[in-house]
Amino acid sequence: MLSPILVPILGDQLSHGLSSLEGLCPADARILMMEVWDEATYVKHHKQKIVLIFAAMRHFAAELRARGFAVDYVTLEDPENTGSFTGELARAVERHAPREIRVTESGEWRVEQAMQEWQGRFACPVTILADTRFIASRAEFARFAAGRRHLTMEHFYREMRRKTGLLMEGARPVGGQWNYDAENREPPRAGLRPPPAPKFAPDAITREVIGLVARRFADHFGDLEPFTWPVTRAQALEAAEAFFTERLALFGPYQDAMIAGEDDLYHSLLSTSLNIGLLEPLELCRRAEAAYFAGTAPLNSVEGFIRQIIGWREYVRGFYWHLMPGLAEANELAAHRPLPEFFWTGETPMRCLADCIRTTRQDAHAHHIQRLMVLGNFCLIAGINPQEVADWYLAVYADAFEWVELPNVAGMVLYADGGRLATKPYAASGNYINKMSNYCSACRYKVAQKTGPDACPFNALYWHFMARNRARLESNHRIGRIYATWDRMGQAKQAQYLETAEKFLDSLVPARKGWARNE
């Protein structure tokens, strides 16, 4: 091979249908894959997240070689490894003198900046291709967003339904409604026994990576083992099929339910495979739609699942690119309290939080309502600094990439974007958690108690949040009525709420430096 096309493939681009691989002749190309220190530590990712990425990268490299491609695979401990994408690309350019560098656009703004810099740095042309694994291109989202102040997901979602034809009968939604969310809010029922999601025993390649992570990332958050995530497309397809046949039917009704120690419930656990490219969004949606037409899953579950993917997932990606880089700095509610240490240790008597942090530490995963209404809600009403919250979510979840994590944190959870994503903050007292979980029955705090040292802290924090943000929130028609309730309470009750909340907030120990980033 004289002067090849050099094709860098990043750790979340592990798809055989990737745009940079399309039409590429193996005899004419050199693939570059690199395990680099910068990516493994820009936040200190959960140990299982690093195993997931490196193990999946190594398996993908083997699959590409089996397809006839020449792959330069730079391991983390290669003594020549420079530790960065740019450094490794420069070394590969030296080795191969490529006639072109061809790469699929990055998922993250930070890496896109580096890619743009490559265009001026190397002698050969650098072609950056759109990531066609997403259903909506970035330009398409920009067209949707143009001139809108509130970027309502539901409007975008309907466009995606029309574009894909999913659950459509001509121009009309199947069943007559676009959205069946109202049927998807069942509290947990006693005796609910969801079939567990499949677990995959590590093979020799993955075991080697587990050894590497044990040696090099011992100070990162989270349990290293058992590691059971899918790391190949074949495993991911098996996990998806188990979800469609065993759990999809009840996915809808129990989507918002939480049960202590039941970590997966009826969720798919497919986000890690989707986000690194082992599965494609459209293939999952078509499979879910087929389950509805075959009569094996009801419409509310199937529509709910499809909405999470072609609605929320596509929407947050468009939202991210539309608002970056400002989104990373946003702090509309001027929240400055440091993240508490217990987010890293799990040591808190608040049983809901302790259980969500336990599953996060154990599995590098927590399901949506745990992330949103327990962990996120706490950060919102306690006024935790958005950048510290974002670092935590980015570090601790195996499926976390900034394009999907940041809109959820800054927009959906913290209202730090000033309401571009959500029309109101999702603040809730202990009552919501009690309704949707079995956490409160065995908690040291009493959910029905509103103030005082034994009261559920969510109750007083809720009112503290409302009171301190009154000037910003009162004019919001979806939230304004709450202030009438607050005013009717009278000064004595209000003072008890505020004092309970302040005592609780004063008792929080800030996280030590070095958990999220190397200091």
Residues that bind ligand DLZ (CB under 6 A): 10-12, 34-36, 39-40, 45, 50, 53, 106-108, 111, 401
User: Which residue in 44, 161, 267, 464 binds ligand FAD (CB under 6 A)?
Assistant: 267
**Chosen from ligand FAD, ligand SF4, ligand DLZ, none, partner binding at 156 (C-beta under 5 to 8 Å by type):** none
User: Which residue in 104, 275, 359, 360 binds ligand FAD (CB under 6 A)?
Assistant: 275
- The set of residues, in sequence order, having a beta carbon less than 8 Å from that of 225 and lying 6+ positions away, is 210
Q: Which region among 158-166, 184-192, 292-300, 304-312 touches ligand FAD (by CB under 6 A)?
A: 304-312
End-to-end CA distance of the chain: 45
Output 29 or 306, the one with its CB closest to ligand FAD. Answer: 306
Looking at the DSSP bridge assignments, the partners of residue 31 are: 7, 71
For residue 195, count other CB atoms closer than 10 A to its CB.
13
* Strand ranges for 384-473 from DSSP E: none
Q: How far apart are CA 497 and CA 512, in angstroms?
A: 29
Q: Which region among 222-230, 242-250, 301-309, 348-356 touches ligand SF4 (by CB under 6 A)?
A: 348-356
Q: How far is the CB of 133 from ligand DLZ (least distance, A)?
A: 12
Q: How far is the CB of 267 from ligand FAD (least distance, A)?
A: 3
The dihedrals phi and psi of 303, each to the nearest 5 degrees, come to -60, -40
**Chosen from ligand DLZ, ligand FAD, ligand SF4, none, partner binding at 458 (C-beta under 5 to 8 Å by type):** ligand SF4
Site string for ligand FAD, 213-252 (x = CB under 6 A): ----------------------------------------
Output 323 or 404, the one with its CB closest to ligand FAD. Answer: 404
266, 267, 270, 275 alpha-carbon torsion, rounded to 10° = 170
Classify each residue of 495-506 as buried b or exposed e, where b means 16 or more C-beta atoms within 10 Å of its C-beta: ebbbebbeebbe
Q: Where are the alpha helices (DSSP H) in 397-518?
A: 402-406, 430-436, 457-468, 470-473, 482-489, 491-507
**Chosen from ligand DLZ, ligand SF4, ligand FAD, none, partner binding at 320 (C-beta under 5 to 8 Å by type):** none
34 binds ligand SF4 per the rule CB under 6 A: no
For residue 114, count other CB atoms closer than 10 A to its CB.
16
In the chain, the amino acid numbered 295 is G
What would the two tokens of residue 203 be?
Answer: 């093979």
397 binds ligand FAD per the rule CB under 6 A: yes
Residue 50 and residue 213 in contact, taking contact as beta carbons nearer than 8 Å:
yes
User: Which residue in 409, 427, 460, 511 binds ligand FAD (CB under 6 A)?
Assistant: 409
Size of the residue set binding ligand FAD (CB under 6 A): 28
Q: How far apart are CA 103 and CA 105, in angstroms?
A: 6
270 binds ligand FAD per the rule CB under 6 A: yes
In the chain, the amino acid numbered 281 is P
Output 88 or 280, the one with its CB closest to ligand FAD. Answer: 280
Chain length of the chain: 519
Residue 460 and residue 446 in contact, taking contact as beta carbons nearer than 8 Å:
no
Output 206 or 459, the one with its CB closest to ligand DLZ. Answer: 206
Going by their DSSP bridges, the two strands 5-8 and 100-104 should be labelled as parallel
Output 31 or 278, the one with its CB closest to ligand FAD. Answer: 278
Q: How far is the CB of 483 from ligand FAD (least distance, A)?
A: 26
351 binds ligand SF4 per the rule CB under 6 A: yes
Least Cα distance to 16 among 27, 6, 3, 26 occurs for 26
Output 15 or 275, the one with its CB closest to ligand FAD. Answer: 275
Site string for ligand SF4, 433-462 (x = CB under 6 A): xx----xx--x-x-x--------xxx----
Residue by residue, DSSP assigns 498-511 as: HHHHHHHHHHPPBP
Output 82 or 362, the one with its CB closest to ligand FAD. Answer: 362
What are the Cα distances from residue 258, in Å, to 18, 316, 378, 435? Answer: 36, 24, 16, 10
What would the two tokens of residue 475 be?
Answer: 């004019």
Q: How far is the CB of 265 from ligand FAD (least distance, A)?
A: 9
Secondary structure of residue 126 in the 3-state scheme: strand
Site string for ligand FAD, 309-338 (x = CB under 6 A): x--xx--x----------------------
Secondary structure of residue 497 in the 3-state scheme: helix
Footprint on this chain of ligand FAD (rule: CB under 6 A): 267-271, 274-275, 305, 308-309, 312-313, 316, 367-368, 371-372, 376, 393, 397, 399-400, 404-405, 408-409, 412-413
Footprint on this chain of ligand SF4 (rule: CB under 6 A): 350-352, 430, 433-434, 439-440, 443, 445, 447, 456-458
